[in-house]
Amino acid sequence: MLIKQLYTGCLSEAAYYIESEGEVAIIDPLRDTDEYIKLTKENNAVIKYIFETHFHADFVSGHLDLSKQTGAPIIFGPGAVTNFTIHNAKDGEIFKLGKVTIEVLHTPGHTIESTCYLLRDENDTPHAIFTGDTLFVGDVGRPDLSSGNMTSEELAGIMYDTIHNKILPLADDVIVYPAHGAGSSCGKNLGPNTHSTIGDEKKNNYALQPQTKAEFIKAVTTGLGEAPKYFQVNAQINKQGYESLDTVKEEGLTPLTVEDVKQWAAADMLVLDTRPATQFTEGFIPGSIFIGLEGRFAEWAGALLPFDKPVILVTEPGKEEETVVRLARVGFDKMKGYLNGGFTAWQTAGEKVDMIVNIEADELAMDLPHDPNLTVVDVRRQTEYADGHVKDAQNIPLDEMTDVANIAGFEDNQNLYVHCAGGYRSVIAASLMKRQGIHNLRNILGGWGKIKEEKKIKTEKDTSVLN
């Protein structure tokens, strides 16, 4: 028996490859399926089943493409309704895989159809459970993402029953393989590890501690941040189906000339620049939006870009396919191509360029006492801001900058100094502000990490939020 966790850091997502006697099950595959096919060829194996733990909201799953490539059935748990053919597994149903078996455990709570898969070894002993978003390391799935006509509290109550009837009775040595690790927005307190055991979770997971149903409901529903706006879009895509990735790549990898890009941009298409932040700030196509591949790229694209608007890409040479694939993972299917030759081609053609002025934190320290028009714009989350910020700084979280009203209230005479925690989100924010005609701004290199080291800059906390 072979179990391989395939972890994608920028999405904090884990897919799983399980093999026994040349037969393979894939659990929660990403949209780009090449890695799964490659593994089967290397191991002289065939994919027999494709299991989905639930309708994922944070990425587009690869079940459709993988099923078409392999002929393997797509298996969802009870209650899943789709626009394509699936096998609706029953609670307790057993699937044979070589010398091992996989048992279906219907575990509603995160969503109604949420299902875990219990892997039993050659001796029929429970070995591992693939928990999807039902159980994480240190947390459980948030109950507010796909509740239909149920409240978060009602789903949390169902989750309480799930935990007590399906999870806690398992032996302590059963390995827990969740669908996500730290950084995912599908929970609120995910631990740093990507797997655990039932015993460790009983000891360390707040949601698995002895408590009443009312206490559990309060614990799992308190402190939930707003879900990223693209979650609902991705969940619907996973229910309804989507274009094959090959089709998306064929269009997205169309090379475009400078003139092509000028015409498309004039037609109000989005120009997305995915180069490193240090390159983007030195020069970019006016009006383009920066979201660099080096950060949590797909998540920020999903949170900030419209899904119904065609996108033109500007990338580092050789990064075109990676960009298209990572956008497709969160449901972007309308990429019209990439600027052939990248930003260098734009410069060489003598076209107009824009730039963002970078400054060090010590320059902010020098300017603050002498410029009455200086406004610090902090684009971190509200809780980050509350935990420490420049005195009198204006907090506009990056994910709220899709609402133009939130960034349209600045006066022409204001000198805007923009920062985040380390410098990635602030460049995204600066590009969005420039796109709205706000050009009197500077990006603070190193963000809050460098600002708080400057003793001359007055800082404060907002204890009302922290408490």
In a domain, 51, yes or no: yes
pLDDT (mean) for 422-433: 97
Note whether 210 and 263 are same-domain residues: no
CA distance 439 to 220: 43
Q: Are residues 199 and 77 part of one domain? A: yes
Same domain, 303 and 444: no
Q: Flag whether pLDDT at 404 surpasses 80.
A: no
Residues ≥6 apart with Cβ < 8 Å to 15? 5, 6, 8, 26, 27, 28, 29, 30, 36
Question: Looking at 43-57, 224-238, 274-288, 331-345, which range is the least confident one?
Answer: 224-238
What is the reported pLDDT for 436? 92
Residues 4-32 have a mean pLDDT of 96
Task: Look up the domain containing 443 and give its range.
Answer: 357-466
Query: From residue 432, how far is each of 115, 273, 407, 440 by CA, in Å?
Result: 40, 12, 9, 13
Looking at the structure, tell me whether residues 324 and 364 fall in a common domain.
no
Structure confidence at residue 467 (pLDDT): 53
Task: Clarify whether residues 68 and 140 are in a common domain.
Answer: yes
The residue out of 348, 380, 400 marking a domain boundary is: 348
Residue 28 has pLDDT above 60, yes or no: yes
The mean pLDDT value of the chain amounts to: 94
Which two structure tokens, joined as six digits, stand for 199?
A: 């015993």
The more confident residue out of 146 and 362 is 362
Looking at the structure, do residues 161 and 82 belong to the same domain, yes or no?
A: yes
Residue 262 included in any domain: yes
- Flag whether pLDDT at 147 surpasses 60: no
Cα–Cα distance measured from residue 306 to residue 331, given in angstroms and rounded to the nearest whole number: 11
In a domain, 114, yes or no: yes
245 pLDDT more than 80:
yes
Tokens of 110: 């995160």
Confidence of residue 227 (pLDDT cuts 50, 70, 90): confident
Share of the chain above pLDDT 90, in %: 89
- The answer to whether position 330 is within a domain reads yes
Cβ neighbours of residue 392 under 8 Å, at least 6 residues apart? 376
Residue where one domain finishes, among candidates 298, 322, 348: 348
On the CB side of 378, CA atoms within 13 Å amount to: 22
Shared-domain flag, residues 22 and 166: yes
> Does 7 fall in a domain?
yes
For 12-46, letters b (16+ CB in 10 Å) and e give bbbbbbbbbeebbbbbbbbbbbebbeebbeeeebe
Confidence of residue 295 (pLDDT cuts 50, 70, 90): confident
Last residue of one domain, picked from the residues 191, 213, 232: 232
Residue 203 exposure: Cα atoms within 13 Å on the Cβ side: 6
* Domain shared by 194 and 154, yes or no: yes
The pLDDT of 236-241, averaged and rounded, is: 94
pTM: 0.92
Task: Give the domain CATH number at 286.
Answer: 3.40.250.10
How does residue 265 score in pLDDT terms, banded at 50, 70 and 90? confident
User: Is residue 313 scored above 70 in pLDDT?
Assistant: yes
Residue 451 DSSP SS3: helix
The predicted structure's pLDDT at residue 226 = 80
Q: Which of 188-192, 200-204, 442-446 has the lowest mean pLDDT?
A: 188-192
Band of pLDDT at residue 205, cut at 50, 70 and 90? very high
Structurally, how many domains does the chain consist of? 3
Nearest CA to 46 among 65, 67, 22, 26?
22
Whether residue 155 lies inside any domain: the answer is: yes
Spatial separation of the C-alpha atoms in residues 130 and 79, rounded to whole Å:
19
Q: Is the pLDDT of residue 433 over 70?
A: yes
Residue 237 located in a structural domain: no
Residues 276 and 338 in one domain: yes
Confidence of residue 193 (pLDDT cuts 50, 70, 90): very high
Per-residue confidence (pLDDT) for residue 145, from 0 to 100? 82
Please tell me whether residues 187 and 313 are part of one structural domain.
Answer: no
What pLDDT is recorded for position 465? 63
Question: Is the domain of 209 the same as that of 256?
Answer: no
The pLDDT value given to residue 148: 65
The predicted structure's pLDDT at residue 450:
96
Average pLDDT of the segment spanning 413-428: 96
- Same domain, residue pair 330 and 363: no
Give per-residue pLDDT as tens, 69-119: 999 999 999 999 999 999 999 999 999 999 999 999 999 999 999 999 999
| pLDDT mean over 9-32 | 96
The answer to whether residue 238 sits within a structural domain is no
Name the range with the highest mean pLDDT among 72-86, 405-419, 453-467: 72-86
- pLDDT band of residue 463 (cuts 50, 70, 90) is confident
**Helix or strand holding residue 217 (H, E):** helix 213-221
